Amino acid sequence: MKVIEIKNLVKIYNGSEIEVKAVNGIDLNFEEGEFAAIVGPSGSGKTTFLNMLGGLDRPTSGEVNIGGINIWGLSSRKLIDFRMNNIGFVFQAYNLIPVLTAGENIELIMHLQGRPKKEREERTKELLDAVGLIDRLKSRPNKLSGGQQQRVAVARALASKPKFILADEPTANLDSKSTTGLLDIMAEMNRKYNTTFIFATHDKRVMDKAKRIVTIDDGKVVEDKWQ
């Protein structure tokens, strides 16, 4: 089943003198349960593409249809709500809220969704258990290693039961062991919850784990292969 349908997506940055086409007419579809990597050299437009996909950066033209809804046709407020209910994010720098514990970081998004306390607590424990950090439920991010923080970030991204998860360079700050561990967990989550994962990455280890690799260069898809 098609989760994301991207039509002729364009993003142009207007500098003082020059115009930069960061994304130059991308057409792509992502199916439910995909484990895909967007790859390409630095400045190729991966992150810009991912941001437009996630409803964070407005495209100059084109459409991003998620579950049949063109997200860029929504009002700002509706877009925020849509993001909360349909899209999960994993950032390169983890970006956990430092004043909240691991459990509270995961619970926060469910709290914003208005889910009952009992359900929130149960799901938080389930997700922390799934990423192997149930014993760190009450630990603040500064008490966790980088790998552990990123695992909590993955659990947080899954908490809202999103249609897909966007991960921008999720392993860039991790050592080899943590990267392997994180990728295994994400693959397991992908399998267990059938959630679509889309990564923007340079990391060979992520590419090796991905089932589909979309290569972008100069804002265009130059290769789209399954492995």
- With binding defined as CB under 8 A, does residue 218 bind another protein? no
- With binding defined as CB under 8 A, does residue 69 bind another protein? no
Q: Give the separation between CA 23 and CA 29, rounded to whole angstroms.
A: 16
The encoded tokens of residue 181 equal 């561990």
Are 34 and 227 within 8 A, CB to CB?
Answer: no
Chain centroid, CA 176 distance in Å: 21
Nearer to another protein, 69 or 93 (CB): 93
- How many of the other CB atoms lie within 10 Å of CB of 170? 28
Fill in the amino acid letter for 149.
Answer: Q
The encoded tokens of residue 47 equal 């992150």
Task: Determine the interface stretch with another protein among 31-39, 79-87, 178-186, 192-200 (rule: CB under 8 A).
Answer: 79-87
Q: Which of 108, 128, 185, 186 is close enough to bind another protein by CB under 8 A?
A: 108
Build a one-symbol-per-residue string for 37-56: x at contacts with another protein by CB under 8 A, - elsewhere. --------------x--x-x
- With binding defined as CB under 8 A, does residue 112 bind another protein? yes
Task: Determine the interface stretch with another protein among 16-24, 38-46, 74-82, 200-208 (rule: CB under 8 A).
Answer: 74-82
Build a one-symbol-per-residue string for 147-176: x at contacts with another protein by CB under 8 A, - elsewhere. ---------x---x----------------
- With binding defined as CB under 8 A, does residue 85 bind another protein? yes
- With binding defined as CB under 8 A, does residue 121 bind another protein? no
- With binding defined as CB under 8 A, does residue 118 bind another protein? no
Q: Give the separation between CA 215 and CA 93, rounded to whole angstroms.
A: 23
Are 39 and 216 within 8 A, CB to CB?
Answer: yes
Q: Give the separation between CA 157 and CA 147, rounded to whole angstroms.
A: 15
Q: Which of 10, 74, 100, 207 is close enough to bind another protein by CB under 8 A?
A: 100
Q: At its nearest, how many Å lie between another protein and the CB of residue 65?
A: 19
Q: Give the separation between CA 168 and CA 158, rounded to whole angstroms.
A: 15
Q: Which of 4, 34, 53, 83 is close enough to bind another protein by CB under 8 A?
A: 83
- SS3 (DSSP) at 178: helix
Q: At its nearest, how many Å lie between another protein and the CB of residue 167?
A: 13
Q: At its nearest, how many Å lie between another protein and the CB of residue 77?
A: 6
- How many of the other CB atoms lie within 10 Å of CB of 184? 12
Instruction: Specify whether the backbone of 126 is left (phi greater than 0), alpha (psi in -120 to 50) or beta.
Output: alpha
The encoded tokens of residue 131 equal 């990423």
Chain residues binding another protein by CB under 8 A are: 51, 54, 56-57, 77, 80-81, 83-85, 89, 91, 93, 95, 97-100, 108-109, 111-113, 156, 160
